[in-house]
Amino acid sequence: MVKNRKNRVGVVYSTNPDFAYSYEEKREQDTLPMEQQNLSVSFDSKRKGRGMTLVEGFQGRDEDRKELGRILKVHCGSGGSLDGDIIMVQGDMRVKLTEKLQELGCRVKRKN
């Protein structure tokens, strides 16, 4: 957790040298089962100088999102990365990703 001023709770300023600020803690939401995931797959040719296939809409913990990204990249034999809530896979892999996500039990919608 990053401790910065924006996450402080309660006191704005204290002259007590032993005062310890309390901070908000972000709770990660639990990962939905794959059968309840509503994902969308799209292609964007303007990201990072080459085409990227984007998987959006995953609801769950960061560790599970990273694991799904790893599975998808290995399935496509391609590189990629995570950008916030978006899983990016290099190249136009819409068909492969749609098939793999449906095989995993997700509901998939193709945007373009």
The tens digit of pLDDT for each residue in 18-35 reads 877 776 676 667 888 888
Please state, in angstroms and rounded to a whole number, the distance separating the CA atoms of residues 47 and 54. 10
pLDDT of the residue at 5: 67
CA 50 to chain centre: 20
Banded model confidence at residue 2, pLDDT cuts 50, 70, 90: low
Give the start-to-end residue ranges of the domains of the chain: 29-110
Round to whole Å and give the CA distance between 48 and 58: 22
- Distance (Å, whole) CA 57 – CA 77: 22
The gap from C-alpha 71 to its chain's centroid, in whole angstroms, comes to 14
Query: For 63-102, how does the pLDDT look when each residue is reduced to its tens digit (9 = 90+)?
Result: 999 999 999 999 999 999 998 889 999 999 999 999 999 9
Q: What's the pLDDT at 111? A: 87
Q: From the options 3.30.780.10, 3.40.50.1820, 3.30.70.100, 3.30.70.20, give the CATH code of 29-110.
A: 3.30.780.10
d(CA 106, CA 90): 21
